[in-house]
Amino acid sequence: MSVLLLRLAGSLQSWGSAARFARRTTESAPTKSGVIGLLAAAQGRDRGDDLTDLAALRFGVRVDQPGTRIRDYQTAHHGDTDKSMPVSERFYLSDAVFVAAVEGDGVLIDELYRALRAPAYLPYLGRRSCPPSKPVELTVHMDVGLEGALAGERWHAAEWYQRRLRREKTVALEVIVESRSGGDDPGDTLRDQPLSFDPRHRRYGLRTVRSTSVRVPNPLARTVAARRTPPPDHNPATVLKGV
Amino acid sequence: MYLTRFRINTARVGARRLLSSSQRLHAAVMSSFVEAAPRHEEGGPRVLWRIDRNAKPEVILYVVSPDRPDLTHLVEQAGWPTTGTWQTYDYADFLSRLTAGDTWAFRLTANPVHNIRRTADEPRKRTAHLTPRYQAQWLLKRQKEAGFRVLEKPKEQRRLAEGDEHQLIIHGRDPRSFGKTEEATGRKNHVSLVAVTFDGRLEITDADAMRRTLTSGLGKAKAYGCGLMTLAPVG
């Protein structure tokens, strides 16, 4: 089993799982369907192609920088008829950074890594208007599991965010991993297990996720020595005689 | 010579009025003496004062003066009239015991300035040193003449390759700005100055010069709470 790590950083991201109709919400972390779609696109698969091998990968994500949720109010007119389309609300995550991981067969993981280096269709972060701000592919781990790879990766938050938490030597990051199939451990269910991306009939199944946290070192933590020395006490009267 | 210590009750309106203007505080300090101070000759003993802000509720006024002051008016305006007054100490005795080679902790609030011009045809103008590096250089340049030497730090305690050689902390940078009526012309004027507090350790190299520094002050703006250095035992 190998693990492929991805860095999902961009000024805007949008990861919908239950969004329908005119209100397009986003989850607070990337969805499996979104990341599998990104990988399939990098490989050049078409919408209707079979993706059972990709959907079988185990998925996990670490929240390096949660970002803020912003709302966009969108109007549009139909290209041909110029009739106004329904007004829609679109939600995005702004200034967020995630590390996503997929675990699976070594050959497939290698293929995906190479596909990300030279993608057939450009990757985007959940919605086509949200390009990544940095290369998406990070590394391939051969020997550690999904949890180990996510726990061992360095903190990818922006410098200003790391400096904001400079009082903390290590920071706790939320990790959301998929439960092993067959296991009956309780968890939250999310309808983002991709079955088909066919534009005529997209289908998603339920999958169980579990939320934990890992601690990673903060490279910009302030050391004790760097703190300002307080001025010493000074009382000149201790050696003087009163009159 | 006398050294007087007075704790200011910062909760009182009078205290805020005084602390907000060095000009008013100067007037309050000067009116603690029965005899109006004669024009001091250059380098002679004079009235010096300083505000130490040790903590938010602990603000202390130190006055060093040739005559014994009476701070009753300050207690009434900005003190604790029934429980706390002021303490005056005999400073002359302490000064006479200073000898070269002694090591003391010191505190000095001063107004580090230099005279510069930006272009060749401009008149020279007194300008404040704003960075700790130049403020420290300002003090180190005057130490020999003032009769002391700021002690050096052991090598392993230095945090910078350059500019951290001395046992010296600069803190409490306080830009002051207040209105003033010129005595001679009666015209309104505006004064702005930058006061910083130096804390450190020194060794006396010349006891007479040190006594002069302690009683007549160091640097500019002596009327406005700058230039008073005090010594305390090395803790």
B88 CB neighbours in chain A (<8 A) are: 242-243
A:51-80 residues touching chain B, CB 8 A cutoff: none
Across the interface, whether the CB atoms of B199 and A243 are under 8 A apart is answered no
Q: Which of B5, B89, B232 sits opposite A241 (nearest CB)?
A: B89
User: Which residue from B52, B94, B199 is facing A240, i.e. has the nearest CB?
Assistant: B94
Residues of A in contact with B235 (CB under 8 A): 232-233
Q: CA–CA distance from A172 to each of A64, A176, A211, A214, B223 (Å)?
A: 9, 13, 12, 6, 55
> How many pairs of residues across A and B have Cβ atoms under 8 Å apart?
54
Residue from A234, A239, A241 whose CB has the most chain B CBs within 10 Å, to mutate: A234
- AA identity, residue B70: D
pLDDT, position B162? 82
According to the model, what pLDDT value does residue B17 have?
A: 93
Residue matched to tokens 């002690």: B151
Last residue of a domain, one of B35, B64, B94: B94
User: If you measure CA to CA, which chain B residue comes closest to A227?
Assistant: B159
Inter-chain residue contact A229 with B199, CB threshold 8 Å: no
Q: What is the pLDDT of residues A114-167, one digit of tens each?
A: 999 999 999 999 999 999 999 999 999 998 899 999 999 999 999 999 999 988
Residues B186 and B209 in one domain: yes
Do residues B80 and B146 both lie within one domain? no
Which residues are registered as beta bridge partners of A5?
Answer: A101
pLDDT at site B55: 83
The CATH number for B73's domain is 3.30.70.1200
Q: What angle is formed at CA B88 by the lines to CA B85 and CA B89, rounded to 5 degrees?
A: 150
Among chain A residues, CA nearest to B69:
A243
Among the listed residues A52, A66, A55, the one whose alpha carbon sits nearest the alpha carbon of residue A13: A66
Burial class (CB in 10 A: 0-12, 13-18, 19+), A208: middle
| Whether residues B111 and B16 fall in one domain | no
* Cβ of residue A240 closer than 8 Å to a chain B Cβ: yes
Cβ within 8 Å, pair A242-B90: yes
User: Distance between CA A8 and CA A99 in Å, rounded?
Assistant: 6
Q: Which of B100, B102, B41 is nearest to B66 (CA)?
A: B41
- How far, in Å, CA of B173 to CA of B170, rounded? 8
| Closest residue by Cα to residue A112 from A36, A39, A3 | A39
φ/ψ bin of B60: left (φ > 0), alpha (ψ from -120 to 50), beta (otherwise)? beta
At B39 the pLDDT is 67
Per-residue pLDDT of chain B (235 residues; tens, 9 = 90+): 999 999 999 999 999 999 999 999 999 999 999 887 666 667 778 999 999 998 888 999 999 999 999 999 999 999 999 998 899 999 999 999 999 999 999 999 999 999 999 999 999 999 999 999 999 999 999 999 999 999 999 988 887 888 889 999 998 888 888 888 888 898 998 989 999 999 999 999 999 999 999 999 999 999 999 999 999 999 7
Residue with tokens 């903060």: A218
Provide the chain A residues 188-227 that lie in CB contact (below 8 A) with chain B.
225
Residue of A nearest to B157 (CA): A225
- Residues B124, B59, single domain; the answer is no
User: Do residues B199 and B107 both lie within one domain?
Assistant: yes
Instruction: With beta carbons under 8 A apart, name residues in chain A contacting B69.
Output: none
Tell me, yes or no, whether B105 and B81 share the same domain: no
Number of domains in chain B: 2
Q: What is the mean pLDDT of chain A?
A: 91
Contact residues on chain B for A237, CB-CB shorter than 8 A: 3, 5, 87, 89
Q: What is the ipTM of this complex?
A: 0.83
**Among candidate residues B94, B116, B137, the one where a domain is terminated:** B94
Residue A6 main-chain phi, psi, to 5 deg: -125, 145
Do residue B132 and residue B226 come from a single domain? yes
Q: Determine the structural domain holding residue B153 and report its residue range.
A: 99-232
Report the CATH number that the domain containing residue B214 is assigned in CATH.
3.30.70.1210
Q: How far apart are CA A48 and CA B130, in angstroms?
A: 69
Counting Cβ atoms within 10 Å, is residue B46 exposed (0-12), middle (13-18) or buried (19+)?
buried
Contacts with A229 from chain B: Cβ below 8 Å:
169
Regarding whether B78 and B60 lie in a shared domain, the answer is yes
Per-residue pLDDT at A225? 55
Residues of chain A with pLDDT under 70: 181-185, 224-229
- C-alpha span between B134 and A63 (Å, rounded): 46
From CA A139, how far away is CA A44, in angstroms rounded?
21
Residues in B touching A234 (Cβ below 8 Å): 52, 105, 107, 199, 230, 232
Pair (B72, B142) in one structural domain = no
The answer to whether the CB atoms of B91 and A240 lie below 8 A apart is yes
B113 and B219 belong to one structural domain = yes
Closest residue, chain B, to A240 (C-alpha): B89
Whether residue B31 sits in one domain with residue B128: no
Q: Is the dihedral of CA A98, A102, A108, A110 positive or negative?
A: positive
For residues B72 and B103, membership in a common domain is answered with no
